[in-house]
């Protein structure tokens, strides 16, 4: 495993697609499950770009759907690594809708996913450090540490 430190910008990812009828419920808005699938994919791509390793999704923090996205509207998913731990890392995924005719955008969901890096034999492997330089990057990473502590508490509760 190449453990050369990387910047978040090196793995940041943007996915754009149009919502098609096949993605929608009878009201003509995208299915929550489809959004969750796209969030997992967008998050994993950023994670793979950072680690260049196999990954499993360990956790997705409480997800909210703030606004619906109708058929014909664009769905945009932006993912970036917020913080790296030892064998795991947190990725933030922001979901926006964009009206094709006006360009109006709005945030529809924000998710934090934790991925764990594994080798083909299933053993966990270390992930490359994240280069944290600016005050903003430090703030984002501090917040990720706080979220991690909470989700590990929830995990312990779920396992007991």
- DSSP output for 133-158: -SHHHHHHHHHHHHHHHHHHHHHHHH
Pairing of strands 54-60, 74-84: unpaired
Let me know how long the chain is: 160
- Residue from 12, 59, 60, 141 touching ligand COA (CB under 6 A): that is 59
Q: Does 85 bind ligand COA (CB under 6 A)?
A: yes
Residues 6+ apart with CB under 8 A from 156: none
- Residue from 45, 46, 114, 147 touching ligand COA (CB under 6 A): that is 114
Q: Does 109 bind ligand COA (CB under 6 A)?
A: no
In angstroms, what is the C-alpha Rg of the chain?
17
- Segment interacting with ligand COA, rule: CB under 6 A, options 16-24, 91-99, 102-110, 151-159: 151-159
Q: How far is CA 138 from the centre of its chain?
A: 18
Q: Does 60 bind ligand COA (CB under 6 A)?
A: no
- Residue from 11, 53, 88, 108 touching ligand COA (CB under 6 A): that is 88
Specify the residue, 96 or 148, whose C-beta has the smaller distance to ligand COA. 148
Residues engaged in binding ligand COA (CB under 6 A) = 56-59, 85-88, 114, 116, 124, 151-152, 155
């Amino acid at each position: 495993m190449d453990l050369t430190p990387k910047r978040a910008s090196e793995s940041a990812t943007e996915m754009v697609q149009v919502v098609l009828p096949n993605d929608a419920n009878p009201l003509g808005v995208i299915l929550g499950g489809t959004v969750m699938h796209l969030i997992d994919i967008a998050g994993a791509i950023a994670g793979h770009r950072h680690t260049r390793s196999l990954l499993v999704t360990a956790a997705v923090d409480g997800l909210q759907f703030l606004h619906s996205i109708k058929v014909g509207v664009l769905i945009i998913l932006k993912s970036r690594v917020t913080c790296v731990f030892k064998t795991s890392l947190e990725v933030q995924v922001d979901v926006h809708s964009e009206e094709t005719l006006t360009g109006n955008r709005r945030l529809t969901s924000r998710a934090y996913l934790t991925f764990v890096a594994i080798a083909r034999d299933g053993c966990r492997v270390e992930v490359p450090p994240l280069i944290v330089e600016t005050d903003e990057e430090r703030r984002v990473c501090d917040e990720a540490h706080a979220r991690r502590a909470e989700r590990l508490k929830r995990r312990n509760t779920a396992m007991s």
